Every structure is written in structure tokens, then in C-alpha cells.
Amino acid sequence: MMIAPKFWTEKGLISSALLPLSALWMLAGRLKTALARPESAELPVICVGNISVGGTGKTPVTAMLCRIAKEQGYQPCILMRGYKGRKKGPVFADPSVHTTADIGDEAVMLALNNDVCVSADRIRGARFIAAQNKFDLIIMDDGMQNPWLHKDIILTVFDGQSGLGNQRILPAGPLREPVASGLDKADAVILNGKDETGLKELFAQDLQVFEGQLHPDQKIAKTLNGKRLIGFAGIGRPQRFFTTLKQTGAELVRELSFADHHSYSEADLSRLHQEALHAGAELVTTHKDWVRLPPEWRARVLALPVSFRVSRADKTRLVSLLSTALAKRPD
């Protein structure tokens, strides 16, 4: 995935020139939805999706939902397509066997602590999970715009800092679909970070909103305090990572951004290593980037994992929403 272009934040000339292509994108999406015949999976499906592309925090939210589901006695399995991975599946992710080239970085990262099924065909993936006879819940990372698999609950994630940009459809803006249709699908909204762009004004009054933040691993964060660091990241919102690094008390001497899901070459890493040596600094990146590094480089690069958390009150409300919705599901 490319780095988000600057014109996605404003309704300028470049964005306006691309509006005819946006119209075609919308038409294709509507045709796909009209022709699809959604299939209900044997197990209940919770979908964690978004309206805009990249960087809203879907994957950390998915990991949080898995933790909550396990606390409530469920046996969840994550279903995802394995973006940029060559395996089409369905296959269960195994970090000791599969690389990010096989199943994608997010699948490898989530599989370190969760059961994960990678399948380009979500219906086949849902059947594959159910056939194992060990799971009772599917949590789907992404796929909100996939019309073929029925979702029992759709949680739509928004980034409070970046919002929805110019609110135009791809490629003129960052939206996968119009805001209205996306919100109509949502059973609830999860807001990642403070609402700095007026997102809440778009939400219906009866739409439940859960607010949370990304928190760095505290043990690792403490070890970064006072260190000279060069931070690099190939994620949707790299600036958030750099801000987090500064909040640990580290001296961030340089920030380097790459495209989301960037595959680091030997040349990339050698250049970064030389810059760190010259600056008397250490290299640090996100956990998602770290799993994409060749094994021989991982010992030379620090990683700062993050987790998504909501307040105790919002967690209670979220559990209630999930329990109520899943209880209504027909057997």
C-alpha cells in the first residue's frame, strides 16, 4: 500500500480531477453488493472494519476483542485475508512456519497470541474454522465491504486524529465507500484516539461509540527512556508511532516513514544501520514492521508493541453489546 497522498486531506484540483474514477469505484461497489448473496457462517461473525483505507487501528482492536472474548469464555478465531501474502488459504497461521511473505505481516503478528485463519475467500475461511470443531466465534479483521459473508456484528473503527480526510471516495480521497452507507452498516463505532476532526457529528445519536487509545508495552517503553533512537515505520499512520516514541522519554534523532506494509530490502536496512551508527543511535520500529524484517536483522532493531484499550465502563458496554447481539443469533 502506498503512502497516503496529501491531496486526500483537501478538496483541491488533483482530488477533483479524480472524481470520475471515484464514481466508477462507487458503481463497482454497488454492483458487487447488488449481485452478492450473503452466506451465513456456521459460527457467529464479528467484523472489525473501517470506511477509510489504512491506519485506523483495526488490527489492535481485533486483538483487544480476542482478549475480551476469551475472558468471556469464548474460543475465538481471527479470520483475515492475509494482505500481501502469497498463500490464498484457508490456512491457519503459524509464525514458526509462515513468513510475512506467506500470509502478511498482520496475520503473523496476531498469530503470536491468537488463533488466526488466513483465507482470501472469507466464506471458505469461515467454513474451515467451523470444521475444526474447537472454535465458537469468528472475529474478522477487515472485510466490512465484503458482501458475500454475513456479519452478525460490524464494529467500524475510526482514527480520531486523521478522521476521514476530504471525505471523498478512492482514488480522489481515502474512503472505501460513502460515509452514510458505511455508518448504516455499523452496529457500533470504535474511536481510536481523541476526536480531533468532528467525527462524532457524523454519528447517529443511537449509534454506540466506544473510545480507546493505543498504549505502548510499558516494560519496553521504560527501557527506551533516555536512548538516542532512529525510528522508522511502514504503517498507515507513522506519525502516531513517532509521537509514542517521544512520549517514552527517548531522544528521537530521526523519523523515517515508508509505505504501509513496506517490504524492507537489504539495502534499506543497511542504510538505516549506517545512519544509526553515524548518529550514535539505535534503530526502533513498530511490532508490525519488526515481523517483516529478515530474521538476521531482528536482533539489531528494537520493537515497540502497542495494544488498544478502552475504559472499564466502555469494556462493560462492549461486552454487553456483543453478548446481546450473539444471543439473538439463530441456531
- E strand or H helix at 220: helix 218-224
**What is the per-residue pLDDT across 79-88, written as a single tens digit (0 to 9) for each?**
999 988 899 9
Average pLDDT over residues 124-144: 95
pLDDT in tens, 157-208: 999 988 999 999 999 999 999 999 999 999 999 999 999 999 999 998 899 9
Neighbours of 270 (CB within 10 A): 11
Q: In what order do the strands lie in the sheet with 188-192?
A: 91-92, 116-118, 76-80, 137-141, 45-49, 153-159, 188-192, 208-216, 306-310
Average the pLDDT over 13-38 and give the result. 92
Q: Say if CB 307 and CB 64 are below 8 A apart.
A: yes
* Residue 219: band (very low, low, confident or very high) from pLDDT cuts 50, 70, 90: very high
Contact 267/292 with Cβ under 8 angstroms?
Answer: no
**C-beta of residue 249 within 8 angstroms of C-beta of residue 273:** no
pLDDT band at 36, cuts 50/70/90? confident
pLDDT band, residue 125 (cuts 50/70/90): very high
> Is residue 12 over pLDDT 60?
yes
pLDDT given at position 2: 56
Rg of the chain on CA atoms, in Å: 20
Taking residues 5-29, what's their average pLDDT? Answer: 92
CATH fold for the domain made of 25-32+40-214+309-327 = Rossmann fold (3.40.50)
57 vs 161: CA distance, rounded Å: 12
Q: What percent of the chain has pLDDT over 70?
A: 98
Cis upstream peptide for 171 (omega within 30°):
yes
**Averaged confidence pLDDT in the chain:** 93
User: CA-CA-CA-CA torsion for 290, 291, 293, 294, nearest 10 degrees?
Assistant: 140
Domain ranges of the chain: 25-32+40-214+309-327, 218-304
pLDDT recorded at residue 16 = 94
Q: Is the per-residue pLDDT at 4 higher than 90? A: no
% of the chain exceeding 90 in pLDDT: 83
In angstroms, rounded to a whole number, what is the distance separating the alpha carbons of residues 290 and 305?
9
Burial class of 33 by CB neighbour count within 10 A (0 to 12, 13 to 18, 19+): middle
The amino acid present at 295, given as its one-letter code, is: P
- β-bridge partners, 256: 232
* Model pLDDT, residue 320: 92
- What mean pLDDT is predicted for residues 115-134? 96
What's the average model confidence in pLDDT over 51-77?
A: 93
Whats the size of the chain, residue-wise?
A: 331
pLDDT over 80 (residue 54): no
pLDDT of residue 330: 63
On the question of pLDDT at 35 being above 70, the answer is: yes
| Confidence category of residue 6, pLDDT binned at 50, 70, 90 | confident
Q: What is the DSSP letter of 311?
A: -
Q: Quick check: do 25-32+40-214+309-327 and 218-304 share a fold?
A: yes
Average pLDDT over residues 95-100: 93
Residues 222, 304: contact at Cβ < 8 Å?
no
Domain 218-304, classified CATH 3.40.50.2300, yes or no: yes
pLDDT confidence band for 328 (50 / 70 / 90):
low
What integer pLDDT is reported at residue 1 of this predicted model? 53
